[in-house]
Structure 1
Amino acid sequence: MEKTKIVIYQLFVRLFGNRNTNPIVNGNKEENGSGKFSDISHLALKEIKQLGINHIWYTGIIEHAITEGYPDLAIPNGNPLVIKGKAGSPYAIKDYYDVNPDLANNVEERMQEFEALIQRTHENDLKVIIDFVPNHLSREYHSDKKPEGVEDFGATDDTDITFTPSNNFYYLPNQELQLAAAIQNRFPDTHYHEYPAKATGNDLFTAYPKLNDWYETIKLNYGVDYQNENASHFHPTPNTWIKMKDILLYWARKGVDGFRCDMAEMVPVEFWEWVIPEVKQEFPEILFIAEVYNPSLYDSYIHKGKFDYLYDKVGLYDTLRGIIQGEQSAKEITNCWQSLNGLDPYMLRFLENHDEQRITSRFFAGDAWKALPGMTVSVCLHQGPAMLYFGQEVGEAALGASGFSGDNGRTTIFDYWNVPEHQKWMNNGKFDGDSLSQDQKELRKAYADILHLAKQPAIAKGAFYDVMWVNSDKKLFNFDKAYAFLRHCEVQKLLIVCNFDSQSQEVHLKIPSHALEIMNIPRPISITLQNLQNSLAVNTDSEQLTEEGVKLKLKTYESLVLEIII
């Protein structure tokens, strides 16, 4: 089968289909509305696929804690003291075997509605990724949908001891959980009782979590005794490992094609080393993507932990953000791939996701077009996957506060809210973009053009060659504002040049003799550089390329993708 590059569209289900254009700050689901599984229609999926997408990461699927439940349907209201926002965090799981009831038209048939979404997605030749949250769960966790014979987390724990590998949680014996005043004061007439207190999700072994801690979550025990020099107890296989394997298999058997594993680095790599092969034994093609931020762990989580891909956040994302904001030189991209020591093909590249600030926000670039050269780099730099966050392609800016989530340039994951620019593309379910401005329509097309580059053979499966080292004369090539590299395979050779400047620029770009040798280009020979995006071409020859450089003109924020034809 022909190798294709994975291109992911991250879609926050609660927000994606919500059509309320006038939400109230801190509003409930009746006031502000909630997107549904059914909003992701065949038409929506068709239009997403036409962007150049082949995988959709449905965020917020598994049931998490919410303040306003469905008591008539045996889904109790949640305690607001241990829930962030009225809608709750999708990373405070309440039942690993159920889906968020807010996403269903008929709450009693919520799982069937999600299964129908999986089927629709597959019918549109798209694969399904969901979150797997292994490090922590909601303080009010209780599974009422677990399969017969499955024991709930903590059901048989010995709560009188701090740690034992057979426990699912870590305990603070003889201590009651004490929420900070900043949390308690939000709901002065509400109380939450937890005795003995359990360790908090962000590795906090105290009964006194603060507002900025993950106070709504409980840390899960994978057999690491954190309070005794991180001593590991992995034999026999810890109970938590077995329960998590069963959860992964439960969702895989429903047709899920991959898991984005939340805060994977906070779970011991030995667990992943064990569980991923166990799941892949039954589902060989299933994907595991790790949210990992510590570069010193990359090699271990790929080669030992068996992950398919890792986040490239502290490397390429941070660097591209710095370049887009004018704080870093474009030549720093070279350091990103060099520092990976050959792991580059395993990295997932992106410029937005649910954790990061919107490009168009005043906190990032303030202008959606500034990100396009960075997106080209993200898609084309190597063979690893690229990702787009819904609304990014139409310049969503996440303006204003929504409730628990303040005015910080991020689209809220905690509140019932809307995504205004995305709603213009959604156009009340028509998904035709008729409500977009002309500028937004052109932006969306520009993103589609970039994402479709992933289908080019040299991008999907070819090798990478950085030419920045031979373009070190700033008078000829402004390496602070431009980045150039090659992608090549047997059937295609591409030169890619990205202009991060707010002005057009002219460069004299060289390709080293060594690169021509690697690409099996004989010398001397005439060469045409054919622009893949239009009919423009530049005629040159191998000697000019290696000695003088070819003259190229780049428009503001333009990227040239030039096929080398001999």
Structure 2
Amino acid sequence: MNIIRRKFPYLIIGIFTLLLFGCSSGNQEDEKKMKHLYDISSSTENIEDHKIVVYQMMTRLFGNTTTNNIPWGTLKQNGVGKFDDINEAALKGIKDLGATHVWYTGVIEHAVITDYRKYGIRLDDADVVKGRAGSPYAIKDYYDVNPDLANNVNQRVEEFEALIKRTHDEGLKVIIDFVPNHVARSYYSDKKPKGVKDLGASDNLKKGFDPNNNFYYLPGKPFVVPEGYKPLGGAKFPLADGKFKEVPAKVSGNGAVTPNPTVNDWFETVRLNYGVNHISGNGEKVFDIDGDVPSTWKKTLEILTYWTEKGVDGFRCDMAEMVPVEYWGWMIPRIKKINPNIRFIAEVYNPKEYENYIFNGKFDYLYDKVGVYDTLRAVMEDREGSSLSHLTKVWKEMDGFNNHMLRFLENHDEQRIASKEFSNDPQLGIPGMAVSAALGSGPVMIYFGQEVGEPGKNVSGFSGDDGRTTIFDYWGVPEHQKWVNNHKYDGGQLSAEQRTLRKQYKDIIKASTESSAIRSGKLIDLQQFNRTNAKYNTDKVYSFIRFDESERVLVITNFSDQEMELDLIIPSIVIDAIGVSNLDEVKTKDLLSGQSVSISLDKAKESGSSISIAPYSAMYLTF
């Protein structure tokens, strides 16, 4: 059945091409060009249903207005954002930008250095915590939320439930993280529902691997803190003595089968066991999806059910490839029985596994990192040999599942566009966002602060100074704080340039989601027809057409710091395909600027249409 589903889009493409062009020309060159006309519509679901816009925020940073930013600073010194900071004004601002979903990153309780023992929460050992604020991907209790985020720690879960309701009241949906591959070394749930057993509570510690153990063990060997690790930057702390008692040692989160992980391992976490023998069986799968599945499958299903029933609308699944695809195909349909509209987004980086995780794993969306993101970034950084022409190959390789790819330019793992490590210029995000939002009919994501040019600079603590906004430290995000404007969320402190940048992002998101052609239409890549065009720079300019029965949108983007005077060739086979063969010229309107632009459609000469496009900009010309 899956083979048929995978091949079906290609069958449609072939039939479409044959019917449209089979009798129109015998020209062999045209036939070669026609092979690049593809219908990217999904064959599995309602196409429009895929065009969501995810706004990711690092929840503890989003509403923080403290500006001290002391490296390795405590919560008291550097402040922390709260659930309550994400008020009605904040949510209205996010929705105004065009978002449909908010990804609240770092909500589930993870290991932190702040002492909450008076609230009945165990103190974490600094020797297995990264940064004072801890990694949001070292989950400490899957049935609890981060106490840092609550005004009333004893009511922390209720405060998050109130945020879910506020988000829904503003017409937005809620996404949180699910980290299936690993948990904190100190995992213990003090909030688990009655009848639920902790991960590892029933494990056989004498076995390195057992399909019903939740963890992997190294029997008889104690865990050793990585040599040279200096928690808190060397500051004193009750539990910062270079020791952490764990006997037998568990396998680290990244799969390091050793009691002596290095500082470069995910030593603060331990890997979960889904019935795959990573100890001695060379990855042998020891489970029966039609029988009694492993304990970890059942326990994580309980966890996801818990949050789904609280009103969460989606899960971003961390490092999904490190968990067997059979698990996802078993689990996701069970959660969708509770909420058929819930979304599952996978962090997946291996293109060879894309179809597997979509069609067999049942994911709604996968990260498009190694395809569109990497191609755009190479061009934006002006790397040697980079070219926008590579995008044609990239999206062609995703035929049949293009709409299932989540596109982005920033997230918590990637460096900021405005950072010195990336482009050093936030304006370059505009053509990049225009391509990301319109190249497919699938979802797009924006990271908080991206829309105002946050550069992610300065040493924050464990995160260092690497062009990323820290996820490990208590910190303020300076340019984003100007938009927050003391929780008014009105951009009152932004510069004129920042206001313009945010409006450009807003215009792109609005146009890409409201245009029927972009939401659900077909794609024709124009790069191929302009490869030998002396008045078209295929390395720095990218153009394509999205069209349906009622609308055509010509997308042109300029990744150069120079204004481009183009002669854009739109050949007769394209003119025929989009249904305007009876016209010599069309009047278009740019959905982004509102300006009118005339486009020549001279079929006889097949000469270019003269178009001027500003540096680092984009045009969505509709007609």
Smaller-chain TM-score bracket: over 0.9
Q: CA separation in 1, counterparts of 2:399 and 2:517?
A: 21
CA shift digits 1:204-234 (9 cap, x unpaired): 1111111011000000000001231211111
Give matches, 1:302-451, under 5 Å.
302-327=358-383, 328-451=386-509
Aligned to 1:494: 553
Q: Which residue of 2 aligns with 1:515?
A: 574
- For residues 10-29 of structure 1, what are the structure 2 equivalents within 5 Å? 10-29=56-75
TM-superposed deviation, 1:526: 4.2
Identity, % of aligned pairs?
Answer: 51
Of 534, 540, 549, which aligns to 1:481?
A: 540
Q: In the alignment, what sits opposite 1:262?
A: 318
Separation in 1, partners of 2:537, 2:592: 23
Query: In the superposition, relative to structure 1, how do residues 549 and 474 fare at CA in structure 2: closer, same or farther (>3 Å)?
Result: closer
Residue 296 of structure 2 aligns to a residue in which SS? helix
Structure 1 residues 23-65: Cα deviation after superposition (integer angstroms, max 9, x where no partner): 2111111111110000000011001101111110000000000
Larger deviation, residues 494-503 vs 176-185: 176-185
Superimposed CA distance per residue, residues 126-147 of structure 1 (whole angstroms, 9 cap, x where no aligned partner):
0100000100000000001111
* Post-superposition offset of 1:342: 2.8
3-state DSSP of counterpart to 1:189 = coil
Q: Is the 8 A contact 2:110 2:140 kept in 1?
A: yes
Q: Deviations over 1:485-523 (max 9, x none)?
A: 011112211000000000001111122333333323333
Kept in 2, the 8 Å contact 1:352–1:389? The answer is yes
1:58 is matched with 104
| Deviation at residue 340 of structure 1 after TM alignment | 2.1
Distance 2:603 2:442 in 1: 33
Inter-CA distance 200–540: structure 2 relative to 1 (3 Å threshold): closer
Distance in structure 1 (CA, Å) of the matches to 2:595 and 2:172: 33
Query: Which amino acid is 1:241 matched to?
Result: W
Following the alignment from structure 1 to structure 2, what is the Cα–Cα distance between the partners of residues 27 and 91? 20
User: Which sits farther off after the overlay, 224-233 or 43-52?
Assistant: 224-233
For residues 415-459 of structure 1, the C-alpha deviation after alignment (integer angstroms, 9 at most, x for no partner) is 000100000110101111111111111111111111112221111
Mapped to 2, the partners of 1:132 and 1:518 lie a distance apart of 44
Secondary structure of 1:98's aligned partner: strand
Counterpart residue number, 2:228: 182
Matched, 1:233 2:278: no
Question: Which residue, out of 143, 153, 169, partners 2:189?
Answer: 143
Distance 1:125 1:19 in 2: 26
Kept in 1, the 8 Å contact 2:597–2:621? The answer is: no
Look up the SS of the partner of 2:228 in the other structure.
Answer: helix
- The C-alpha deviation readout for 1:517-537, integer Å capped at 9, x for no partner, is 332333355422222234433
Deviation, structure 1 residue 184: 6.0
Quick one: distance in 1 between partners of 2:457 and 2:395?
34
What does residue 595 of structure 2 align with?
Answer: 536
Q: CA deviation at 1:472?
A: 1.2
SS of the equivalent of 1:506 reads: strand
**C-alpha contact (below 8 Å) 2:47/2:520 kept by paired residues:** no
Distance 1:158 1:535, change over 3 A: closer
Q: State the distance in 2 between where 1:437 and 1:495 align.
A: 31
Distance 1:534 1:373, change over 3 A: closer
What is the CA-CA distance between 1:474 and the residue it aligns to?
4.0
1:343 deviates by 2.2
1:541, CA displacement in angstroms? Answer: 4.8
Q: What TM-score comes out, normalization by structure 2 length?
A: 0.88
Q: Where do 1:124-203 residues align within 5 Å?
A: 124-183=170-229, 186=234, 189-203=241-255
Cα RMSD after superposing both structures? 1.5
Structure 2 residue identity aligned to 1:246 = E
Q: CA deviation at 1:190?
A: 4.5
Instruction: Look up the match of 2:37.
Output: none
* Residue pair 1:260, 1:291 contacting (<8 A) in 2 also: yes
Distance in 1 between the 2:204 and 2:242 partners? 28
Tell me if structure 2 keeps the 8 A contact 1:319–1:332.
Answer: yes
Contact 1:512–1:546, Cα closer than 8 Å, also in 2: no
Alignment of 1:87-106 (within 5 A): 87-106=133-152
Residues 511 and 546, structure 1, Cα contact 8 Å, conserved in 2: no
**1:121 — aligned with what?**
167
> Is contact 2:47–2:441 with CA below 8 Å preserved after alignment?
no
Q: 1:399 to 1:117 in 2, by over 3 A?
A: same
- Determine helix, strand or coil for the equivalent of 2:191: coil
AA partner of residue 586 (structure 2): I
Q: Which amino acid aligns with 2:596?
A: A
What displacement does 1:330 show? 1.5
Q: Does the alignment pair 1:212 with 2:264?
A: yes
Which position in structure 1 is the counterpart of 2:114? 68
Matched residues, number: 564
Deviates more, 1:392-401 or 1:468-477: 468-477
With over 3 angstroms needed to count, the CA separation of the structure-2 counterparts of 1:293 and 1:541, relative to structure 1, is same
**SS of equivalent residue, structure 2 residue 109:** strand
**CA distance in structure 2 between the aligned counterparts of 1:59 and 1:184, rounded to whole angstroms:** 26
Matches of 1:353 and 1:543 in 2, distance apart? 43
CA distance in 1, matches of 2:220, 2:605: 74
Name the amino acid aligned to 1:317. Answer: Y
Structure 1 residues 189 and 458 mapped into 2: Cα distance closer, same or farther (>3 Å)? same
1:3 counterpart = 2:48: yes
**Quick one: which of 513, 517, 542 aligns to 1:458?**
517
AA aligned to 1:268 is: P
Deviations 1:325-346 (A, max 9, x none): 1111111111211222432111
Whole-Å separation in 2 of the counterparts to 1:369 and 1:530: 22
Asked if the contact 1:15/1:418 (under 8 Å) is kept, the reply is yes
Letter in 1 for 2:166: R
* 182-191 vs 371-380, greater mean Cα deviation: 182-191
Correspondence for 1:556: 615
Query: What is the TM-score with the length of structure 1 in the denominator?
Result: 0.97
Q: Aligned residue for 2:307? A: 251
Summarize deviations over 1:230-276 as a string: whole Å, max 9, x none.
Answer: 11111220000001111111101111000000000000000001000
1:523–1:542 contact (8 Å) kept in structure 2: no
User: Cα distance 1:138–1:34, how it changes in 2: closer, same or farther (>3 A)?
Assistant: same
| 2:5 paired residue number | none
Letter in 1 for 2:537: N
* In structure 2, C-alpha distance between the alignment counterparts of 1:28 and 1:132, rounded to whole Å: 27
Retained in 2: the 8 A contact 1:467–1:512?
Answer: no
Residues 184 and 439 of structure 1: CA distance in aligned 2, closer, same or farther (over 3 Å):
closer
Residues in 2 aligned to 1:369 and 1:406: alpha-carbon distance in whole angstroms: 25
Once residues 533 and 583 of structure 2 are traced to their aligned partners in structure 1, the CA distance between those partners, rounded to angstroms, is 27
CA distance in 1 between counterparts of 2:598 and 2:412 reads 44
**CA shift for structure 1 position 309:** 0.3
Among residues 303, 317, 335, which one is paired with 1:279 in the alignment?
335
Q: 1:128 to 1:545 in 2, by over 3 A?
A: farther
Q: 1:71 to 1:510 in 2, by over 3 A?
A: same
Which residue does the alignment assign to 1:224?
A: 276
Query: Which SS does the other structure have where 2:48 is aligned?
Result: coil
Return the offset for 1:384. 1.1
Q: Is the 8 A contact 1:18 1:34 kept in 2?
A: yes
